[in-house]
Chains A and B, each alone.
Chain A
Amino acid sequence: MDITLTLNGKKITDQIDPDLTLFDFLRSHNCYSVKCGCETSNCGLCTVFFDDTPVLSCSVLAARANGHKITTLEGLQDEAKEFVGFIADQGADQCGFCNPGFVMNTIALLRENPDPTDDEIRQYLSGNLCRCSGYEGQLRGIRSFLDSRKHK
């Protein structure tokens, strides 16, 4: 089947199998930031924006994206650069495999709630697993980004 969608700002048309997942579609379109950690919608690694809503691309059919706007971390480099340095300063990037999904969902959080409390951050990102960092460093990084933004 044919689908047309806007991927990271560019309109593309492609012929796909109806059972192709959005995850596989995105990887085949060079969006290598999108990672798979579980295949069962439990880890958050494959988070991308469907229109502007974060979704788990391993559990969305590519066909559903027809006529919609899909955004991956490749399309949000500038917005990500604003705060990921603060995560790096904590050393909380670690192996990095969960980072793209975590960064995408953090962008979604900050768009929705520009000044979240620590508990709101934990709650919003609770579906983004990280096996390395123990989460606390990621929280410190987001917190220090928010603090720096306030003091600007």
Chain B
Amino acid sequence: MEHKNYNAINKSVRKKDAMQLLLGKPVYTKDIAPENALVVKLLRSPHANAIVNTIDTKVAKLVPGVVDIFTWEDVPDSRFTNAGQTYPEPSPYDRLIIDRHVRFAGDVVAIVAAENEKAAKKALSLIKVSYDVLEAVLDFRKAKDSNILVHPEDNWVAPIDVGGSNKRNLVASEQSEHGDVDGVLADCDIVIDRTYHTKAFNQAMMETFRTYTSYDRYGRLHVISSTQIVFHVRRILSHALGIPKNMIRVEKPRSGGGFGAKQTAVSEVYPAFVTMKTGRPAMIVFTREESQIAGSPRHEMEVRVKLGANKNGKIRVLDLYTLSNSGAYGEHGPTTVGLSGHKSIPMYTGSLEAHRFNYDVVYTNTMAAGAYRGYGATQGIFALESAVNELAENLNMDPTVIREMNMLKEGMVMPAYYNEIASACALDKCLAHCKEMFDWDKKYPVRDMGNGKVRCAGIGMAMQGSCISNLDVGSATVKLNDDGTYTLMIGAADMGTGCDTILAQMVAECMDCSVDDVTVFGADTDASPYDSGSYASSTTYITGKAVEKACTDLKKRMCSIAAGLMDCNEDEVIFDEGKLRRINTEQSVTITEVGNKSQLNNDIVPQASASHSSPVSPPPYMVGMVEIELDKLTGEVTVLDYMAVVDCGIPINPALARIQAEGGIVQGIGHTLFENITNDSKGRPIESSLMQYRLPTRLDMGNLKVEFEHSYEPTGPFGAKSIGEIVINTPAPALAHAIYRATGVWHRELPITPEQIALGK
């Protein structure tokens, strides 16, 4: 590990937008959209699987204020995907803007554009639709090769072959094996064979999906949207609307949270279509109900783990099969599933002799899933970590000891992770640190409190990646201003995480200036350099490296300009304590002088751009431990303490890294104990409001304590890896473990509610 005295990184500086946000300034999409925008509302299907027989909008169009209403007859008939992924997307092209065949309760039947919300809502109630209701596939275990097809159409397209077929309800399918899995399983003293089930949890970011569109002064479509993926949105709209990409500009103002939900273009296409048809500005704001029932939640998964071990606790073989429910459309279906194995199995590289990972991803007539922080790893880690805890309890061994025996250590080659080398791995240190901080040896034993309540503890480990290797592109442009300050232009999207700030810290570190001297601009497809977007735990690691590269280039350019001022060669000029100095002399010029010179008789642009991709995706690591008090009569679980230690390489901003970890843990507690997604027998979603979809409050999370173990990732900027996603992964296995300790029952389905605990099932 590298220890250095940094100027700007590894410092807890305030987020650049903090005071604007805390003082309630108008910085979000709806705050900046002009008042005259048409209100866009969507009529949604009440049926899970149906064909629109007739649709009559005549009466609805007579409502004063209604400008137009669009149905399946009005939209282009070429299919596209809403998934925010690099082209060609792994997700199938299975959507139309409005499809005559509606495939989940909530699918769009009509788009209403009106002068005001009242008129739009009135029109919704007056559209007359007759449906041919079809039998629906609601159980994802029965979807593959069902005789009911979610996508029977012939113009379904898979841009990449991921093993899917719409004629089999299959979005993707793959098998992979390393070593003699069946042979090792047969030779093991003990085989844990269990199946774990997680639901389609909602991100429930506080700002629902929303987009504003208008034509700009050049007649181009100008899109202002709360999105993580400005460049992907531009391409998706181009595909969906059939207009050239260069006629679309997408920008993101401040965003009220995403967590992956806004890595899918959930809301953009509807106002864009209205603006295209009417020529007028248009705005859509999803209600909370719409966000709940027609958003882009986590993929429901069922993960079967076969874990083979020796009596002494050595884990020799892992065999995972994941069945993933993509819902009615395939966004992120082929990719999320991979992480359930690729980002769980490698944690046990230390002892594994063989592993197998197979999966199927299926269509059903339920809400389409998408990207949610953790992106499949969360589901796989719940399953595998629970199985390891089951092994430990079965062998009557301490689960921390079993992990110490089997875990991945720095320098190991990871056959289950594309043979990457764990170049920076402090997982063992995280475990030792967490064990001590938490006082594991004291808290692990079950303690009957004598009042019907029991206290005990549970554990989970986690990994994730940092970027999609050989795929994600991050870019940065850094320019020198004439006052000696810098402007950083990025296409990555700060959705509240603070990436604008941590990237500015990197500029300040490279250019040896104050973070206050770096202005950040982004993200805007017209002006930002190309960036895949803020997802896949890539921004710090990938865009950060692009920042470093751009700064190196800019320094050279500044040295050239300074050389002109000092009448010497550029290789004689060095950066030295905020000045440009001619080596071996007292001669120097200030950054401001270089900035001023760049605007006077100059042919060296004081600006540099760089792009970066990585051949590897270095995992961050984490250990989480929870102490609960469980009421044996009511089944109520109270989280007393949640402690975690994270290895994200060198944290660029420790305060922001800590908040990421704390926020992720509380989301994890939420989907383990409170949040649930269920449908009625007709496939209609039940938890359609925050009254029914119970988010954790500040009374639900106990005391949080997060600390860090540093590793140094040689391929990352300043040794950094990622932090944003991994932090959601430990609560589910840790809590399920603690609940088992208290009750003797393993709960293998999330969420684990008091009712299930009290009923012991």
Asked if A37 and B12 make an inter-chain contact with CB atoms under 8 angstroms apart, the answer reads: no
Asked if B699 and A42 make an inter-chain contact with CB atoms under 8 angstroms apart, the answer reads: no
Asked if A42 and B19 make an inter-chain contact with CB atoms under 8 angstroms apart, the answer reads: no
Asked if A94 and B22 make an inter-chain contact with CB atoms under 8 angstroms apart, the answer reads: no
Q: How far is the CA of A42 from the CA of B618 in the complex (A)?
A: 39
Chain A residues contacting B27 (CB-CB under 8 Å) are 96
Nearest A residue to B18, CB-CB:
A88
Q: Which of A49-57, A61-69, A97-105, A108-116 is near enough to bind chain B? A: A97-105
Chain A residues contacting B22 (CB-CB under 8 Å) are 80, 84, 87-88, 93, 96, 99, 103
Chain B residues contacting A89 (CB-CB under 8 Å) are 12, 14, 655
Residues in B469-497 with C-beta less than 8 Å from chain A: 495-497
Residues in A19-57 with C-beta less than 8 Å from chain B: 32-35, 37-40, 42-43, 45
Asked if A7 is at the interface of the complex by the 8 Å CB criterion, the answer is no
Asked if B531 is at the interface of the complex by the 8 Å CB criterion, the answer is no
Chain B residues contacting A122 (CB-CB under 8 Å) are 698-699
Distance in angstroms from B496 CB to nearest chain A CB is 3
Asked if B701 and A95 make an inter-chain contact with CB atoms under 8 angstroms apart, the answer reads: no
Q: How far is the CA of A134 from the CA of B695 in the complex (A)?
A: 11
Asked if B496 and A96 make an inter-chain contact with CB atoms under 8 angstroms apart, the answer reads: yes
Asked if B697 and A32 make an inter-chain contact with CB atoms under 8 angstroms apart, the answer reads: no
Chain A residues contacting B690 (CB-CB under 8 Å) are 37-38, 40, 42-43, 129
Asked if A125 and B257 make an inter-chain contact with CB atoms under 8 angstroms apart, the answer reads: no
Asked if B701 and A42 make an inter-chain contact with CB atoms under 8 angstroms apart, the answer reads: no
Query: Considering residues B658, B691, B698, which has the most beta carbons from chain A within 10 angstroms of its beta carbon?
Result: B698
Q: How far is the CA of A131 from the CA of B694 in the complex (A)?
A: 12
Query: Considering residues A40, A89, A96, A126, which has the most beta carbons from chain B within 10 angstroms of its beta carbon?
Result: A96
Contact with A along B255-293 (1 / 0, CB 8 A): 111010000000000000000000000000001110000
Asked if A129 and B288 make an inter-chain contact with CB atoms under 8 angstroms apart, the answer reads: no
Q: How far is the CA of A94 from the CA of B18 in the complex (A)?
A: 8
Q: How far is the CA of A37 from the CA of B289 in the complex (A)?
A: 10
Distance in angstroms from A37 CB to nearest chain B CB is 5
Nearest A residue to B697, CB-CB:
A126
Nearest B residue to A138, CB-CB:
B698
Chain B residues contacting A100 (CB-CB under 8 Å) are 24
Majority secondary structure of chain B interface residues (helix, strand, loop or mixed): loop
Q: How far is the CA of A101 from the CA of B690 in the complex (A)?
A: 16
Given contacts A95-B495, A97-B206, A99-B24, contact A37 B659 (CB under 8 A): no
Given contacts A133-B663, A136-B662, contact A95 B25 (CB under 8 A): no
Asked if B105 is at the interface of the complex by the 8 Å CB criterion, the answer is no
Given contacts A130-B206, A131-B259, contact A32 B31 (CB under 8 A): yes
Distance in angstroms from A58 CB to nearest chain B CB is 10
Asked if A135 and B666 make an inter-chain contact with CB atoms under 8 angstroms apart, the answer reads: yes
Chain B residues contacting A84 (CB-CB under 8 Å) are 19, 22-23
Chain B residues contacting A99 (CB-CB under 8 Å) are 21-22, 24
B698 in complex: contacting residue of A33, A34, A45, A126, CB < 8 Å: A126
Q: How far is the CA of A42 from the CA of B698 in the complex (A)?
A: 13
Asked if B82 is at the interface of the complex by the 8 Å CB criterion, the answer is no
Chain B residues contacting A95 (CB-CB under 8 Å) are 21, 205-207, 254-257, 495-496
Contact with A along B631-661 (1 / 0, CB 8 A): 0000000000000000000000101101101
Contact with A along B684-696 (1 / 0, CB 8 A): 0000011100010
Given contacts A37-B288, A40-B288, A93-B22, contact A132 B204 (CB under 8 A): no
Chain A residues contacting B206 (CB-CB under 8 Å) are 35, 37, 43, 45, 95, 97-98, 129-132
- Contact size range, B: 35 or more
Asked if B205 and A125 make an inter-chain contact with CB atoms under 8 angstroms apart, the answer reads: no
Residues in B686-734 with C-beta less than 8 Å from chain A: 689-691, 695, 697-699, 701, 703-704
Chain A residues contacting B663 (CB-CB under 8 Å) are 94, 131-134
Nearest A residue to B662, CB-CB:
A134
Chain A residues contacting B697 (CB-CB under 8 Å) are 126-127, 129, 135
Nearest A residue to B21, CB-CB:
A96
Nearest B residue to A72, CB-CB:
B24
Given contacts A94-B659, A131-B204, contact A125 B698 (CB under 8 A): yes
Q: How far is the CA of A87 from the CA of B21 in the complex (A)?
A: 11
Asked if B551 is at the interface of the complex by the 8 Å CB criterion, the answer is no
Asked if B453 is at the interface of the complex by the 8 Å CB criterion, the answer is no
Distance in angstroms from A74 CB to nearest chain B CB is 7
Asked if A91 and B653 make an inter-chain contact with CB atoms under 8 angstroms apart, the answer reads: yes
Chain A residues contacting B245 (CB-CB under 8 Å) are none
Distance in angstroms from B406 CB to nearest chain A CB is 30
Chain A residues contacting B556 (CB-CB under 8 Å) are none
Q: How far is the CA of A135 from the CA of B700 in the complex (A)?
A: 10
Chain B residues contacting A131 (CB-CB under 8 Å) are 203-206, 257, 259, 663, 667, 695
B658 in complex: contacting residue of A126, A137, A139, CB < 8 Å: A137
Asked if B15 is at the interface of the complex by the 8 Å CB criterion, the answer is yes
Q: How far is the CA of A98 from the CA of B208 in the complex (A)?
A: 12
Distance in angstroms from B58 CB to nearest chain A CB is 27
Asked if A73 and B23 make an inter-chain contact with CB atoms under 8 angstroms apart, the answer reads: yes
Asked if A74 and B24 make an inter-chain contact with CB atoms under 8 angstroms apart, the answer reads: yes
Asked if A77 is at the interface of the complex by the 8 Å CB criterion, the answer is yes
Distance in angstroms from B23 CB to nearest chain A CB is 6
Distance in angstroms from A46 CB to nearest chain B CB is 11
Q: How far is the CA of A147 from the CA of B25 in the complex (A)?
A: 27
Asked if A92 is at the interface of the complex by the 8 Å CB criterion, the answer is yes
Asked if A97 and B19 make an inter-chain contact with CB atoms under 8 angstroms apart, the answer reads: no
Distance in angstroms from A118 CB to nearest chain B CB is 9
Asked if B17 is at the interface of the complex by the 8 Å CB criterion, the answer is yes
Asked if A37 and B691 make an inter-chain contact with CB atoms under 8 angstroms apart, the answer reads: no
Chain A residues contacting B204 (CB-CB under 8 Å) are 131
Nearest A residue to B694, CB-CB:
A42
Asked if A90 is at the interface of the complex by the 8 Å CB criterion, the answer is yes
Q: How far is the CA of A131 from the CA of B662 in the complex (A)?
A: 11
Asked if A123 is at the interface of the complex by the 8 Å CB criterion, the answer is yes
Nearest B residue to A42, CB-CB:
B690
Nearest A residue to B256, CB-CB:
A97
Nearest A residue to B668, CB-CB:
A134
21 contacts between A and B (CB under 8 A): A35-B28, A38-B690, A38-B691, A42-B690, A80-B22, A84-B22, A88-B14, A88-B15, A88-B18, A89-B14, A93-B15, A93-B18, A94-B498, A95-B21, A96-B256, A123-B699, A129-B690, A129-B697, A130-B698, A134-B667, A136-B701
| Residues of chain B having any CB pair with chain A under 8 Å | 12, 14-15, 17-28, 31, 203-208, 254-257, 259, 287-289, 495-498, 653, 655-656, 658-659, 661-667, 689-691, 695, 697-699, 701, 703-704
Nearest 9 CB-CB pairings of A with B:
A33-B24, A95-B496, A96-B21, A97-B256, A134-B662, A88-B18, A32-B26, A100-B24, A84-B22
| Residues of chain A having any CB pair with chain B under 8 Å | 32-35, 37-40, 42-43, 45, 72-74, 77, 80-81, 84-85, 87-100, 103, 122-123, 125-139
